[in-house]
Amino acid sequence: MVMLWSLQKARPLWITNLQEDETEEMEGPQSPGQLLNPALAHSLSVASCGNIFSCGAEDGKVRIFRVMGVKCEQELGFKGHTLGVSQVCFLPESYLLLTGGNDGRIMLWDANSEVEKKQKSPTKRTHRKKPKRGTCTKQGGNTNASVTDEEEHGNILPKLNIEHGEKVNWLLGTKIKGHQNILVADQTSCISVYPLNEF
């Protein structure tokens, strides 16, 4: 469950069950990991605008929500990891989203075009269009997304794909000496640093 809380009233204002989204997904072709990886929320990150947040889940899917008053609406959902998404982190002052997974991969997504598109056209929707669904195959050593990933990720493609090799326990996008970097903690005693030169 993902909940939006009222701290004044100490009760949730909005609740969504990620398992319901998973039930819809199972109606189509199943991948071997679907039955073993329920949609348990692992990590949340709020964009600097304050009304967009992302959720990484055990089913390998990333969901992006928009807060509208006392309700939230899912704006986007895409799958990029073969195992659970252990960490999500928006980079400061942007809709660039870092994700880290139990599959040892770190990915950078640009949700800006999708989020801005929805923000500029505030039409009421009575029927929500289901995002494209797909299964993910591991790309050993590949640091660039291919065009064939479009079916897998819907309308959003990863800008960067790093094969870290260890389960990602924590990640953060930060500037070090004026350059953007990704800090990653895994199950070892070391912190890894990856440069984000072009972002």
Look-up: residue for tokens 């800008």? Answer: 159
Residue 194 lies in a domain: yes
Residue 22 lies in a domain: no
Residue 142 lies in a domain: no
Q: Give phi and psi for 195, each to the nearest 5.
A: -75, 145
Element containing residue 65 per DSSP (H, E): strand 61-68
Q: Is the pLDDT of residue 109 over 60?
A: yes
Give the count of alpha carbons within 13 A of 53, CB side only: 17
Read off the pLDDT of each residue in 116-136 and give the average, rounded to a whole number: 43
| Interatomic CA distance for residues 105 and 186, integer angstroms | 11
Residue 61 lies in a domain: yes
Domain of 69 in residue numbering reads as 1-11+39-117+157-198
When pLDDT is cut at 50, 70 and 90, the band that residue 101 belongs to is: very high
Q: Would you state the structure tokens that stand for residue 112, as one six-digit string?
A: 């800006």
Residue 54 near residue 62, CB atoms below 8 Å: yes
Pairing of strands 179-185, 105-110: unpaired
Pairing of strands 61-68, 52-57: antiparallel
Structural domains counted in the chain:
1
DSSP state letters, 76-120: EEEE--SS-EEEEEEPTTS-EEEEEETTSEEEEEE-HHHHHHHHH
User: DSSP state, 58?
Assistant: T
Residue 49 lies in a domain: yes
| Mean pLDDT score across all residues of the chain | 78
- CATH number of the domain to which 102 belongs: 2.130.10.10
Q: Is the pLDDT of residue 155 over 60?
A: yes
Residue 82 lies in a domain: yes
Residue 147 lies in a domain: no
Give the count of alpha carbons within 13 A of 82, CB side only: 13
Q: Is 10 helix (H, G, I), strand (E, B) or coil?
A: coil
Q: What is the pLDDT of residue 22?
A: 53
| Interatomic CA distance for residues 101 and 103, integer angstroms | 5
> For 161-186, what is each residue's pLDDT tens digit?
999 999 999 999 999 999 999 999 99
Residue 167 lies in a domain: yes
